[in-house]
Every structure is written in C-alpha cells, then in structure tokens.
Structure 1
C-alpha cells in the first residue's frame, strides 16, 4: 500500500470516527432536551400543587416538600442546561473522541434524571394521598 492510499484510508477512517462522534453527541443533545422539557412540565405541575395546597390542603409539611422539590428542580434544570451547552460546544468546536468515558458521563446524567423522576413520583403520591382525604359535602 502506497503512502497516498494509506493517507486516503486514514482520512476516511478519521471522517467516519468524527461522523460517529457527531452522531452520538446529537443523540445526547436530543435526550437532554427531552429531560429539560420534562422538568419544565414538572415545574408547572409543582406550581399547581402549591396552589392546591395553599387553598385546600393547607399542610406546612406538603408546602416544604413542594419548595424543596422546586429548588431541586431548578438546580437540575440548570445542570442539564449547562451540560447541553457543553455538548453543543463540543459538537460545534470540539474534536474529543466519543469514548467509553464520555458515554459514562452521559449515563451518569441519565441516572441523576431518573432518580429525580422517581422522587417526583413520591411527591405526587404524597400530595394525591392528602387530596384523597377530602370529601365533597
């Protein structure tokens, strides 16, 4: 194999590696965007739960749970926005290979998001259980 052929094969391999890197980053960006949209929706629900608590349930404990979750939600959204921004910068300007280490970082973000979703389900169940105690007169 001559030098010219070797360079062509090497360039093709580099192009394929970069193409895959960009594809994986785009996938991660789409997923993070979905997570952020979900957290925004949860924030809207939390606002409604807060109104229901103030007008109907009037539980300080529930209000503290709501406030705690709202704070955590804000922090989670900020973390995801920063992560998405980093991914977009890497997509646009970076050349770091998408390797196992990078995949582990994304998986860690996914686990953090899923833990947050589970915590939200617990909060919703707590609120719904409180609401279920009320009967129409």
Structure 2
C-alpha cells in the first residue's frame, strides 16, 4: 500500500505571492509567506522563504506519472509565463511517496515521460522525489 503526493513549487521569490499568481495566471493551492510564524509540533518557527504551491488533486493511490502529468496539463496553457518566473526563481516538482506496507505490489513505479522531462528542462525546474517508509 502506498500514497503519493505531488506539487509544483516556486520558492524564495522576492516579490509578493499575488504577483507570482498574477504573472502565471493560476491560483495556487497553498502559499507560504516569508516572516510568518508556523507551529511545528511544540515549536514555533519563522518562515525563511516565500513559497507558491500548486498541488496535484489526483487520488493519492494513482501513479507518480499521473500526478506529474496533471500538474503539467495545468501549467502548459500558461507555459510562457511559468517559464519567465521559473527562470528567475527556484522551482521544483516535489514528490513524496509514502510506503505503508512493503510488498512487491505496493512499490510504485517511477516513470517520467519524454514530454514531462522536456517540460521540466524548459522550465529550468528540478524534480525532488522523497520516499518514506511508514
């Protein structure tokens, strides 16, 4: 059994979240603002960077490729504006794979289509894949 979570992030920009949103033409599903306080467990921390996040809405049990393609399809109609922003600020597709019960059937495949790797390159974005054993 596994769960997959994927989002696209634009990070550490020096303008407002609203300016990023206005430029790319899509509303984020989540934002973090530098200087805000966040509570993690019992500690309270200050956010060190701005972050604009577009999360995949696909079912958590679907393939990594399905999540990545969903996000790519949301970005493609606004590609030129995303490229402008991503060439100026750090961006990544952040993937988390949670393995709950390890068996041959529960280990998801990691497959990236040629179209997706081309998009990744054109945006100058990175791909981060973290795997957690629960």
Q: Greater Rg, structure 1 or structure 2?
A: 1
1 or 2, which has the higher strand percentage? 2
User: Please, what TM-score do these two structures have when normalized by structure 2?
Assistant: 0.26
Determine which structure has the larger helix proportion and give its number: 1
Q: TM-score, normalised by structure 1?
A: 0.26
